[in-house]
Homo-oligomer: A and B are copies of this chain.
């Protein structure tokens, strides 16, 4: 397993692999890997000949008020985990090489990046699209794997890939959860014991709406009001609870099969997201 920091060195290695007709895979991460990331890695390993896992806490997707500095990091543990999975290449770029002082380019996916998480984090997705586009240009992958927990991110990246004629297949891996249902997140370690228990309400509320939808509930307002109540009752401060079209991310009038239910909730200073697609 190789840990590569230099962008041009990685580009050259990829070019050699491409010349041998190897299929290149990419899993972009911010490190501090958990089973959610590892499930994406396993999916990518099955679908590629040479897999690059990038570890880069991308400053551009954090607002000044957010947790960029505090974001958890543990490179040695990440490396051990990736070695155990059989990963070939880790790309661990230097922040100053990724964003030199004169860096000036932003990518906007208009209409998709100002809703849901884009409301409370107005510059977040510009940072995501910029770093993902840079990684695509550096790694030149045939496939790239993202998680469904960041569903809006996946929708935005897919649209960017289509709009910009990038030849990357975007593969989505499912949400991995703790035994009690809490979606895995690097930020879960911020939670107090009480908050950790309360946060299960996110999963419970998504389970509830799936059942209610199965039993005939179609009224958007009724459904969302009920979920908001469930979450507030457990001490969550709601950023948003929404029912949207899973491609356009526009609010739906009535719940339908395929409607995306997405939520973002703060427990104390920790912001958690989760989602489900009605089936």
Could you name 5 residue pairs across A and B whose Cβ atoms are closer than 8 Å? A105-B110, A105-B159, A106-B107, A130-B164, A137-B165
B137/A105 in contact, CB under 8 A: no
Q: Which residues of B have CB within 8 Å of A103?
A: 163
Least distance between A68 CB and chain B CB atoms (Å): 20
A209 interfacial by beta-carbon distance below 8 Å: no
Mark each residue of chain A from 127 to 157: 1 if its CB lies under 8 Å from any CB of chain B, else 0: 0001001100110000000000000000000
Which single member of B102, B108, B134, B160 contacts A165 (CB below 8 Å)? B134
How many copies of this protein are present in the complex? 2
Task: List A residues at the B interface (Cβ < 8 Å).
Answer: 7, 11, 102-112, 130, 133-134, 137-138, 159-160, 163-167, 248
Would A163 and B110 count as touching, CB distance under 8 A? no
Of A164, A166, A248, the most chain B CB neighbours within 10 A belong to A164
Q: Which applies to chain A's interface (DSSP): helix, strand, loop or mixed?
A: mixed
Known: A104-B159, A105-B164, A130-B164. 11 other contacts (CB 8 A): A102-B159, A104-B109, A104-B110, A104-B111, A105-B107, A105-B109, A105-B110, A105-B163, A106-B110, A134-B165, A137-B164
**Cβ B165 vs Cβ A104 within 8 A:** no
Decide if A106 touches B104 in the complex (CB within 8 Å). no
A166 to B103 Cα, complex, angstroms: 14
Could you tell me the distance between the alpha carbons of A167 and B10 in the complex, rounded to whole angstroms?
A: 13
Q: Are B11 and A133 in contact (CB under 8 A)?
A: no
